Amino acid sequence: MAVSALASPAQAAAAPTVSAKGGFLLNQATGATVFSKTADTRRQMASTTKIMTAAVVLSTKGVDLDRKVTVKQAYRDYVAKEGASTADLRTGDKLTVRQLLYATMLPSGCDAAYALADTFGTGSTNAARTKSFIAKMNAKATELKLKNTKFDSFDGISQGGQNYTTPRDLAKIAQYAMKYTNFRSTVKATSYKSTAPTSTGGKRTYTWYQTNQLLGSYNGAVGIKTGTGTAAGPCLVFAATRGSKTLVGVVLNSSDRYKDAAKLLDYGFGSSTAKTMKLRSLPSDAQSD
């Protein structure tokens, strides 16, 4: 009995058309390219920068995720001055590094990213420590052999416009970060609730909501991070697992980032769920990013 050789559904289907100016999709396990659109064109990345912030923290030798960090007024002043997304960290509260990772990745808290950079950088001032941390981000990009990525920011708010990447490079950063169990558990959470001691000896409850609406909307979605900026436009770094296959993707400067992401994932999985996907709505008090 003759058996005809058929291409897998993912290969048989035509590559999707996406609104994003740049896009990339890779296989998490192998790194193989599944989809590519202007993959090596440098673009601003907005808050998707925070993926590298988290990766630098988690790759720090001997990192203690239960280490307590005291929130400084400088972190609150910074988000107020920048009009940035915030985890609404309160001055004097003591949060663990683990809590700060959730606060950075879910509501896209620039105050939390500042706290991490200030804690894991070296130097005698806030400015020196954050500069040192950004240098670590760039060192990690070099270690990952990313030739088209540069950071001048710990959270994506770029003062000089020297905070850029490409769809391919950003997908590789995400692929690297997804190797860490604590990163995976953080970015797949739609919300996170925890308590922290206050400066007066009380306890404060923090609840943060995930800005990534692909979670809970696309079957198998497991992350990762939104980003929006004037220069960057709407961006999304995403991942989904079906069976034994995990795909990691990026869309930069997209007019419909969730639909673009769903189309790319459908292409990679050989499915057609993007057409019927209904986006999970965010609570009214959730941050937007």
Specify the residue for token string 């307590």: 68
Fill in the amino acid letter for 259. K
* Pairing, β 94-96 against β 33-37: unpaired
CA 72 to CA 115: how far, in whole Å?
8
Residue-wise DSSP of 14-76: PPPP-SSSEEEEEETTT--EEEEESTT--EE-GGGGHHHHHHHHHTSTT--TT-EEEPPHHHH
Cα distances from 228 to residues 18, 39, 61, 101, 253, in angstroms, run: 18, 19, 31, 19, 8
CA 39 to CA 264: how far, in whole Å?
14
How many CA atoms, within 13 angstroms, populate the side-chain half-sphere of residue 81? 9
Active-site amino acid positions: 47, 50, 108
